[in-house]
């Protein structure tokens, strides 16, 4: 528990909150699961790099999903014409 308190400072939590703004609850839950998986796969504790990578991957996945939604809407709109 002490390691988690050291790793997850209020400054780091504030940074995470800013980075994941706009992600759904499900996307955030998936991101947290990915953090845990990264640590477990390497048989070690969670590292800052694991947290950063999971956040980057979740944000990128969200961005791509939003782009896909816009593209789908455009294609659907064109097909209606």
Cα–Cα distance for residue pair 23/68, rounded to 1 Å? 15
Please check whether residue 16 is in contact with residue 55, taking contact to mean a CB–CB distance below 8 angstroms: yes
Phi, psi of 46 (to 5 degrees): -65, 135
In terms of residue numbers, what domain contains 30? 2-80
Read off the pTM.
Answer: 0.76
The pLDDT assigned to 3 comes to 55
What would the pLDDT profile of 40-66 be if each residue is shown by its tens digit? 887 777 888 888 999 999 999 999 999
Please check whether residue 23 is in contact with residue 62, taking contact to mean a CB–CB distance below 8 angstroms: yes
The pLDDT assigned to 8 comes to 79
- Least confident interval from 5-14, 15-24, 30-39: 5-14
The total number of structural domains that make up the chain: 1
The pLDDT assigned to 5 comes to 60
Cα–Cα distance for residue pair 58/20, rounded to 1 Å? 8
């Amino acid at each position: 528990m002490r390691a988690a308190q050291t790793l997850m400072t209020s400054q780091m939590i504030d940074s995470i909150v800013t980075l994941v703004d706009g992600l759904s609850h499900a996307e955030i839950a998936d991101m947290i699961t990915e953090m845990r998986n990264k640590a477990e796969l390497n048989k070690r504790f969670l590292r800052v790099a694991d947290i950063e990578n999971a956040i980057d991957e979740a944000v990128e996945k969200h961005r791509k999903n939003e782009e896909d939604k816009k593209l789908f809407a455009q294609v659907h709109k064109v097909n209606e014409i």
